[in-house]
Amino acid sequence: MSQKIPYITKEKAEQIAQKYPTPFYLYDEAGIRNRARLVNKAFAWNKGFKEYFAVKATPNPYILQILKEEGCGADCSSLTELQMSHAAGLTGRDVMFSSNETPAEDMQLAKKMGAIINLDDLTHVEFLEQVAGIPETICCRFNPGGHFAIANSIMDNPGDSKYGMTREQMVQAYKMLMQKGAKHFGIHAFLASNTVTNAYYPELARQLFTLAVELKEETGADITFINLSGGVGISYHPEQAENDILAIGEGVRKVFEEVLVPAGMGNVSLFTEMGRFMLAPFGALVTRAIHEKHIYKEYIGVDACAANLMRPAMYGSYHHITVLGKENAELSHVYDVVGGLCENNDKFAIDRKLPEIEKGDLLFIHDAGAHGFSMGYNYNGKLRSAELLLQENGEVKMIRRAEEPKDYFATFDFSEEFPELKTY
């Protein structure tokens, strides 16, 4: 069985915890940079390639700055994500705005920033025209319906997805947009999530490249880019094979040359907007064991909870756990590792074989760098943790402070009826 190896030792974690109490998120700058460089290498054959990092996965301006330095843009879906990206120095064509059921002010800011706007629905053509105006470069999101399959394996069910337009609506949207002044077009689609197969992107590319050729023939539109979006996953389980992004890039290249080049569309730029693949392996939730309980099962209680990382509670997702300092110890015990919420699904692991855990041990919860902190919430009045960056020089930098009670009560600052809340 392969192993997942933490990027900090127990000694380093204890040193960090002296300054920043657990729980905390810790991101690995070197890993993030290396991953961005690997993705750029995989698609270097396409001269217009750009990775637009999915901000929703890890919304932190320090992370966005690192990725910007590595040539990445930002994929945004809300007003605040646009504002954060702008603060990190990302604007104009470095931003893709893909949203749905979009408020007018979100569209207006995207247009003002010069972001590439990706329309989710045919009705959004007139909506965008009314609230912000039609830009010269525009993108439309495609939903083919039915099932998305690779070979004989169904990967997902786009027909049940609320996102995107039918093929007929794509044609209609392009024609309407051209009449309203749009000159350059893109295609976007997201058909499956967290795929761990090198075949996903090439098969998605085949569908989108074929559609691009057909749309050009039917509408005469100048299609300048195709966005393969996200969906490239990671191996959360140690024994699971990882995606090979170099093989994926080569697979897309072959389809590109097979479909687009003969159609005279060899200058089309390719975009991706990966969040999980870019960040998940390079972020961890570090938490301390503070209680143990022996009833019908063996429980280890930690100072983090589902408010810090809700994927296991929400999806039943597996996140590997390393007990720092006991990496090579025998997996002699079976535990449920749980948090302190008044919810029975507040569990990071169920019936997990681990070394014997003692109160005070530090647990390193792997692969939490995407859709980890960002999905946090304040149920039970729990406060979200700090986010820290393990820099390439080995120093640790705080990139978001831990919430305090005053933050939880901040939205009552208008009220004079509960003055005590302003003292916490």
Query: 148 φ, ψ to 5°?
Result: -100, 120
**For residue 421, what pLDDT band results from cuts at 50, 70 and 90?**
confident
Parse the chain into domains and list their residue ranges.
29-279, 281-412
281-412, superfamily in CATH? Lyase, Ornithine Decarboxylase; Chain A, domain 1 (2.40.37.10)
pLDDT of residue 152: 54
Beta bridge partners of 352: 335
**Residue (of 401, 406, 403, 411) closest to 422 by Cα position:** 406
Q: Cβ(51)–Cβ(90) under 8 Å?
A: no
**For residue 417, what pLDDT band results from cuts at 50, 70 and 90?**
confident
Mean pLDDT, range 229-240, rounded to an integer? 95
Residues in the chain: 424
pLDDT of residue 153: 63
CA distance 237 to 226: 32
DSSP state of 258: I
Q: Cβ(204)–Cβ(189) under 8 Å?
A: yes
Architecture of domain 29-279: Alpha-Beta Barrel (3.20)
Say what the pTM is: 0.95
Residue 342 catalytic? yes
**Residue (of 164, 121, 123, 124) closest to 146 by Cα position:** 164
The helix or strand, by DSSP H or E, that contains position 158, with its residue range, turns out to be none
Select the more confidently predicted residue: 91 or 417.
91
CA distance 402 to 35: 27
Active-site position among 76, 139, 140, 342:
342
